Amino acid sequence: MEKLRTAMNFCIRYQKTLGYSIVSLLTIASEQIFSSVVFRCPCNSWNTLYGCVFLLVPALLLFLLGYMVNARTWILFTSSCPQEKKRCCGFWEKGCLSLKVLVPVTASSLVAPLTWIAVALLSASFYECAASGSSLIRHHVCRDMDQHCWELLQKIPCEENVVRQLLKWNSTEAGLVSFRAQSQVIGWLLIVVIITVALISTCISRCFSPVSYFQLKFWKIYLEKEREHFEIKAKEHAAKLAERNINCFFEATNPTPFQTPSNEDWQKISFPYTFNKNDQYYSMIHKYINANRGQVRALSEGDQIPSVLGFVDEAHTSEQEF
């Protein structure tokens, strides 16, 4: 039991890192299945379009899916459209708030698509098919040659001996047909760029963090406990409300008064979290309770959204449901 508790605490503490790792592994497995089972290069004039579709379209779908399953997206957009007699902040303030929330969401949503592209480039199947039909490659390799050279170039993904024939005809320019080597070099360069950008952005984010390292650790512990108590209390409250309503229905009695948060209260604790150095609130619920029982705005003077505190909005939606 103690080992199980230790494992659970480890998973909770590093749930974001583990989540990214699982997404990356699933993306790699999906790419391997696509390249070995689904993908079949046509080896004709459709090569470039076919290869680009398999290389880029799944990445685009994974990017959009990353937005859909990210809790901060729905926290931002739920009830954010203009409603009658509702104005919590100005247009530019709301635009800045949305931008500050969407930038880290975009960064996290790029994990899966960039993993797909990098792995696809390392396996080289998609790139080889797309490049063999490229007009730019064809122009250099088949310079001063007839259309038969174009047809041979398109058949490279399907026939291995085609490269030897092209080397015999034009040994100087035919070196460009090393599509597998090109793809793998680009793939490794992409991985280096991704890791470098991630490291630099993380360092900058931590450098401009408004709180210290140990306070961040305490903050995460607090959010974990708050989420646990919220789920327990929400289940108890919902169960009591459901029991009261069902009893009144079957017994044909009038309902007794029952205190439940109003729509406005729910809306206020659902605002994207903003940090203000003048206050010390660890969540929107904490801010709601202490700020004169609900005098909470989406954006106030001095509020900011540091990327290092992006975990706050996801504390109560760890399952990433939408």
Residue-wise pLDDT tens digits, 277-293: 778 888 888 888 887 66
Instruction: Please indicate, yes or no, if residue 321 is contained in any of the structural domains.
Output: no
Greater pLDDT, 104 or 297 = 104
Is the same domain home to 100 and 204? yes
Share of the chain above pLDDT 90, in %: 21
Instruction: Please indicate, yes or no, if residue 167 is contained in any of the structural domains.
Output: yes
Instruction: Please indicate, yes or no, if residue 218 is contained in any of the structural domains.
Output: yes
Is the same domain home to 218 and 164? no
Q: What is the 3-class SS of the chain, one letter each residue?
A: CHHHHHHHHHHHHCHHHHHHHHHHHHHHHHHHHHHHHHCCCCCCCCHHHHHHHHHHHHHHHHHHHHHHCCHHHHHHHCCCCCCCCCCCCCHHHHHHHHHHHHHHHHHHHCHHHHHHHHHHHHHCHHHHHHHHCCHHHHHHHCCCCCHHHHHHHHCCCCCCCHHHHHHHHCCCCHHHHCHHHHHHHHHHHHHHHHHHHHHHHHHHHHHCCCCCHHHHHHHHHHHHHHHHHHHHHHHHHHHHHHHHHHHHHHHCCCCCCCCCCCHHHHHHHCCCCCECCCCCCCCHHHHHHHCCCCCCCCCCCCCECCHHHCCCCCHHHCCCCC
Mean pLDDT over each residue of the chain, to the nearest integer: 78
Confidence of residue 298 (pLDDT cuts 50, 70, 90): low
Average pLDDT over residues 196-205: 89
Greater pLDDT, 126 or 305 = 126
What are 275's strand-pairing partners?
A: 304
Q: How far apart are CA 4 and CA 109, in angstroms?
A: 31
Confidence of residue 172 (pLDDT cuts 50, 70, 90): very low
> How many structural domains does the chain have?
2
| Structural domain ending residue among the three candidates 208, 234, 255 | 208
Q: How far apart are CA 150 and CA 135, in angstroms?
A: 9
Average pLDDT over residues 153-164: 74
Is the same domain home to 242 and 200? no
The domain of 197 spans: 39-80+88-208
Instruction: Please indicate, yes or no, if residue 19 is contained in any of the structural domains.
Output: no
Q: Which pLDDT does position 320 carry in this prediction?
A: 42
Q: How far apart are CA 26 and CA 309, in angstroms?
A: 27
Is the same domain home to 108 and 201? yes
Instruction: Please indicate, yes or no, if residue 217 is contained in any of the structural domains.
Output: yes
pTM, full prediction: 0.74
Q: Which pLDDT does position 99 carry in this prediction?
A: 78
Confidence of residue 51 (pLDDT cuts 50, 70, 90): very high
Q: Which residue has the tokens 């390292």?
A: 213
Average pLDDT over residues 77-92: 59
Nearest alpha carbon to residue 274 among 111, 72, 110? 72
Is the same domain home to 171 and 292? no
Main-chain dihedrals φ then ψ at residue 102, nearest 5 degrees? -75, -25
Is the same domain home to 53 and 183? yes
| Structural domain ending residue among the three candidates 189, 208, 227 | 208
Counting every residue written for the chain, the total comes to 322
Instruction: Please indicate, yes or no, if residue 300 is contained in any of the structural domains.
Output: yes
Cβ(78)–Cβ(270) below 8 Å: yes
Q: How far apart are CA 138 and CA 46, in angstroms?
A: 14
Residue 103 confidence (pLDDT) above 90: no
Q: Which residue has the tokens 């959010």?
A: 223
Q: Encode pLDDT of 119-139 as tens digits.
A: 999 988 899 889 888 888 777
